[in-house]
Amino acid sequence: MTASSPSTNPAVFNAVDYLVDRHVQNGDGDHVAVVGVSRSLTYGQLAAELRRVAAGLHALGVRPEERVLMCMADEIELFTAILAAMHLGAVAVPTSTMLTGPELRKLVTDSRAAVVLGSAEFLPQVRVAVAGAPEVRHVVVAAGEPGPLPPGVTGHDWSELTGEPAERTYRTWRDSPALWLYTSGTTGDPKAAMHRHADIPFVAENYGKRVLGVSRTDRCLSVAKLFFAYGIGNSMFFPLAAGATAVLEPGRPTPARLAERALRDRPTLFFGTPSFWAPLLASDVMVEAFSTVRQGISAGEALPARIYHGIAERFGIEVLDGIGSTELLHIFVSNRPGQVHPGSSGVPVPGYEIELRDEHGAVIDENDRPGELYVRGDSAATGYWCRAETSREVFLGGWVRTGDSYLRNDDGTYTCLGRFGDMLKAGGIWVTPSEVENRLLDHPDVAEAAVVGVPDSDELDKPVACVVPVPGHAIDPDELIRWCREGLASFKRPRAVVELAELPKTATGKIRRNVLRQLVRSAPRRKLPT
């Protein structure tokens, strides 16, 4: 494995040097870098561990720019695996642990990954995924045994990732591929947003340091997991860039669980989502649990003003709402500490430009006029893997088309109005309506189906299924929700089912989703299940 030092060639840059090695070289190797549930690593230990894993991946045949796909819990193993892949010059591909086996198989096949890493609890999905993926040759399992795998696929225990580690990182450049993050994003089916090594310091310096002021003494705890762009910034890029400490929580992010971790590990920065902040506000957790938090952050969807004020009053935490995307790697519009405009996304993050454009692509200059949000910044992905047509629709001459409808307020802040298209978010995660609709249509009682996003009493969008029954059949809402949960990732399931005699359609037969949304929204306001 060829290696080179950035100091000998200014054109050479590897994000692992920036995130880990420079702290060791500067004498901070004994400072704690990452805290897991069962163990922690200092910067010096992290540097050694990621090199051991990188050497093991190299021994399995992983070469520069090849993909290493991961379906793993947020623990030390995933943390080091992401860094190890980048150190090796390969591409880290952390994927959602909420996907079913067939859903994961699409990503494994699409990425052409030959090596798949999995946590023991997600091994059933991994086995299903690799069974239909022709490129896979090795599966490595953390905290468990690989067990039976398809012919041609060799299983390994995590301890087998050993070899002769390279002293220095692989000779990558700023534009070398480092990380792929799969997203449904603005255009439906999952696709990999391809990010460079240079994108990582850009988001860490401009948002992490210039907005949040992350320093060596901070401890970062995130609701979003490492497979999210939001999560990997919160739990890896920001703390490591500043020489701070990341606190990893692998479990389901309930208020009780996160309060327990906050009591134990004393975070100073807490990254949440509206779908977490709202249940936290409604919970009975001790206020003292979050007493060390100096700043709260929210992203994924717009944070209602009611929740902002409630968290501030009860916990004494100021929450900075912002908007980011997988395509831009993290937040590009955000409120500022001490300058929050509740109900807005704030103002552009340093290093980013934004524009509002009308349906013809013309720039909107006046305030209080809605338009589609476009963003320009150096953390933009180079495109979507093997999605040329879609890339051309989203990445436009340095600008990224977000698909979000926004307006500019008189004070210069920006307020989200929703989506330009039919995509919707559930708990901050993109959901493709057609995918849920296809699952509903597989049920013998359903003749027609349409899924729309409907705000609950906290103004957070939830997927609601509008269905027309097969003549002579009865609709059981609970049964349909169970049906979707069994065939799809849980977050994609409808939170409610509305039975209709027919779906409103245009003269050409297209479903009028705007009419459906209005129809469901006009019903009595209620709190939909999360």
Note the pLDDT tens digit of each residue in 271-309: 999 889 988 998 999 999 999 999 999 998 888 888 899
**pLDDT at residue number 7:** 40
Band of pLDDT at residue 6, cut at 50, 70 and 90: very low
Quote the mean pLDDT of the chain: 91
492: in domain: yes
Q: Which of 391, 419, 447 is the last residue of a domain?
A: 419
Mean pLDDT of 408-413: 95
CATH number of the structural domain spanning residue 310:
3.40.50.12780
Q: CB under 8 Å to 114, separation ≥6 — which residues?
A: 61, 62, 66, 67, 135, 136, 137, 138
118 in any annotated domain? yes
For the chain, give the longest Cα–Cα distance. 76
Provide the CATH number for the domain around residue 466. Answer: 3.30.300.30
| Other beta carbons within 10 Å of 78 | 28
Residue 454, pLDDT score: 85
CB atoms within 10 A of CB 415: 17
Could you tell me if 82 and 227 lie in one domain? no
* Same domain (yes/no): 233, 329: yes
Confidence of residue 163 (pLDDT cuts 50, 70, 90): confident
- Degrees (nearest 5) of the Cα angle 190, 191, 193? 135
Domain count, the chain: 3
18 occurs within a structural domain? no
pLDDT at site 506: 66
Residue 355 and residue 213 in one domain: yes
User: Mean of the pLDDT values across residues 260-270?
Assistant: 98
- Tokens matching residue 291: 């007493």
pTM: 0.86
Rounded Cα–Cα distance for residues 435 and 172 (Å): 38
Report which listed range, 7-21, 305-319, 441-455, 457-471, is most confident: 305-319
The percentage of the chain sitting over the pLDDT mark of 70, rounded to a whole number, equals 94
Residues 410 and 486 in one domain: no
pLDDT of residue 1: 41
User: What mean pLDDT comes out for the span 402-417?
Assistant: 92
For residue 167, pLDDT beyond 80: no
Cβ neighbourhood burial of 305 (10 Å; 0-12, 13-18, 19+): middle
Structure token pair of residue 466? 């509008």
CB-CB contact of 103 with 126 (8 Å): no
pLDDT digits (tens, 9 = 90+) for 478-501: 999 999 999 999 889 999 999 999
Task: Judge whether 154 and 137 are in contact, CB under 8 Å.
Answer: yes
- Statement to judge: residues 249 and 380 lie in one domain: yes
CB 191 within 8 A of CB 390: yes
Angle, helix 76-87 to helix 43-59, in steps of 10 degrees: 70
**Residue 445 in tokens:** 């009682």
* 333/323 Cα distance (integer angstroms): 5
86-141: pLDDT as tens digits: 999 999 999 999 999 999 999 999 999 999 999 999 999 999 999 989 999 999 99
Same domain, 388 and 448: no
